[in-house]
Amino acid sequence: MLQAGPEDDLTPFANCSQCNYRDTLLAVGSCKPGDCCVVAESGRQIDRFFRAHPEYAADYIQDSFWERRAIAARYLPVHHLRPLLTDPDEAVRRVLAYRVPQEWLLELCNDTDREVRITVADRLPEQQLELMAEDTDYLVRVYVAKRLPAGRLFRLVADPDNEVRRTVAERIPCVSLGLMADDAEVGIRRIVAQRMNADDLEMMSKDYDWTVRYDVALRAKPDLLQQMLDDVEEEVRLAAQQRWETLSA
């Protein structure tokens, strides 16, 4: 049972009269109402309690208050964590995703909570990461794209989300960038033009967006550059002319 503190203080205070630690921890000052207390519905107080007494965390694995379980999970020895993998509250499972051994992570890769899956994607061994490449949430796939070995990014070059494809364009081997030369997003095509091998830039020199052609002009070799001196866009012509003069100097 909780009781109110002083009228000008909103700190939650627990009723210590029925507390299991009344004659032990409380009696010797190892817990303190309003400051270090596992009974109060206050995350700050609960965390201070478990920080001081991590040996009691295992007693709260099945506690009815989700925040108490989540905080206890931070202090539990690893061998006590498995029962919480299926905890009904996502806050608890988020803690688990950070703490469990890597070999347990596959049990969380289909979790209903995106934050749990994001953490899994950030921690999962590379050889298992591809299992999450088709996750329904774009941000999970972004994490996959950031961590997959560059040579295994091909399956994400046509991902429906721009942010995922942008990450792929920034990391995929240069020799494979031609696969993204026709991407629907201008910003992604610009990344391709900025990273693609100069010998392959001709495929992008006629892009309908002038900013992509501008990036091509900044890197084009003389033969292609000469063709771009007559581009319909003045900014592209100027960039091509300046580069031509630099190469000719």
**Predicted TM-score of the model (pTM):** 0.86
> CA angle, corner 28, sides to 68 and 26, nearest 5?
35
CA distance 180 to 23: 69
Average pLDDT over residues 10-37: 87
Asked if the model's pLDDT at residue 5 lies above 60, the reply is: no
Angle of CA points 194, 197, 200, to nearest 5°: 105
- What pLDDT digit, counting tens, does each position of 97-110 carry? 999 999 999 999 99
Q: Which of 239, 242, 177 is nearest to 214 (CA)?
A: 239
Mean pLDDT, rounded, for 132-143: 97
Residues ≥6 apart with Cβ < 8 Å to 27: none
Average of per-residue pLDDT values in the chain: 93
How far apart CA 11 and CA 69 sit, in angstroms, is 21
Exposed/middle/buried for residue 193 (C-beta within 10 Å: 0-12, 13-18, 19+): buried
Confidence (pLDDT) at 1: 41
CA 243, CA 249: separation in Å to the nearest integer?
Answer: 10
Tell me the two tokens of residue 47: 């965390």
**pLDDT band with cut points at 50, 70 and 90 for residue 9:** low
């070995």: which residue's tokens?
149
What was the pLDDT predicted at 2? Answer: 45
- Residues in contact with 55: Cβ distance below 8 Å, sequence separation at least 6, in sequence order: none
pLDDT(7) > 70: no
Range list for CATH 1.25.10 in the chain: 101-172
Burial class of residue 128 (count of CB atoms within 10 Å of its CB; 0-12, 13-18, 19+):
middle
Q: Is pLDDT at 13 greater than 80 in this prediction?
A: yes
State in words which class domain 101-172 has: mainly alpha
* Interior angle at CA 193, CA 192 and CA 195, nearest 5: 65
DSSP state of 36: B
